[in-house]
Amino acid sequence: MSEFKRRTFFKLGLSTAILGFIKPARAIENVEKSFFRIAPKKVVISTWNHGLVANKKAWEVLDSEGKSLDAVEQGVMVTENDMTNRSVGLGGRPDRDGYVTLDACIMDEQSRCGAVACVENIQNPIAVARKVMEETPHVMLVGEGAYDFARDQGFDKVKAPIKEVKKDWKEWKKKNKELLRNPEINHENHDTIGMLAMDQYGNISGACTTSGWAYKMHGRVGDSPIIGAGLFVDNEIGGACATGMGEAIVRIAGSHTVVELMRQGFSPKEACKMAVERIIAKHDDLTNLQCGFIAINKMGEHGGYSVYEGFDYALKTANQDEMVKTMFDRSWNSNSE
């Protein structure tokens, strides 16, 4: 037996033995797939139907032999630049004081990551998050500091909110005064765009960006810019991102939880389902508490799951360009099945 074959055999045997302690049959199957798959499968997935257009841009990058990091950044920027979108970018709804504050994070195959939170008047927070990752020793910048950094990096100041959104906010303020409105995050009210991509080299990156909960308290930050909550990538295993009620997702370190479940041998769909079940177990009142996860693994398999019905994600591969409806724990007309 050659030295190369001995090393490969040893790696396979060792990995199988280790994973066997976790979930034997499934672990062995996953190791076999990981070692013997012929070539990486390029794939892009992203949350909600605005992901279709975003995926198209990301796929252009992958189809030109680009890296997954560039693909996810350029993909979600399409959504950030859509001024008709009311939950992502400067077209998003403001907080209760009238300020549009944006959150974003990005993570690559080397576990490098960057994030910005509660940043105002910047068109593409995802690009600023990447600058944080590449140009600073930090992971996250927030508020005025994030804005100042963006301006130093050459990003233009853009006025917000836009006219239509400001009009809606004024009407909301008259009706609600100081009350905080519960979010209604379902197929009628899409929020965060989270995107995951695997390139031809088998490397996975992810991005997440949002304007957050409409009419939130000023300064509120949800899961979207938090590495391990709104987004997490471990290139040995896969990646996951979240959407929905950020506070609930943060409480279980949602996206990290999904990736760690995949490490134990569960499929992306199974891992997402188990994370949702953990959220449900941690909350007595699930009224309007919608959360969903999507994930991909190193074999290019993908899946998602949500608390309530109505969650879907956009899928793009060499021969697929479609929306995928996820399974869910319960319907909107009942709190349990």
Q: Return the active site residues.
A: 192
What is the residue whose two structure tokens read 């009210």?
Answer: 189
Residue 115 phi, psi (nearest 5): -155, 155
Assess contact for 28 and 35: CB atoms under 8 A.
no
* 213 token code pair: 């909960």
Residues in Cβ contact with 335 at an 8 Å cutoff, skipping those fewer than 6 apart: 286, 287
Longest dimension (CA), the chain: 79
Of 123, 79, 75, give the one whose Cα is nearest residue 102.
Answer: 123
* DSSP reduced 3-state for 117: strand
Assess contact for 233 and 205: CB atoms under 8 A.
yes
Assess contact for 210 and 88: CB atoms under 8 A.
yes
Which alpha helices (H) appear in 117-240, and where do they start and end? 125-135, 143-152, 163-176
Q: What is the distance between the alpha carbons of residues 188 and 153, in angstroms, rounded to a whole number?
A: 37
Q: What is the distance between the alpha carbons of residues 316 and 109, in angstroms, rounded to a whole number?
A: 20
Q: What is the distance between the alpha carbons of residues 208 and 219, in angstroms, rounded to a whole number?
A: 19
Of 322, 325, 326, give the one whose Cα is nearest residue 59.
Answer: 322
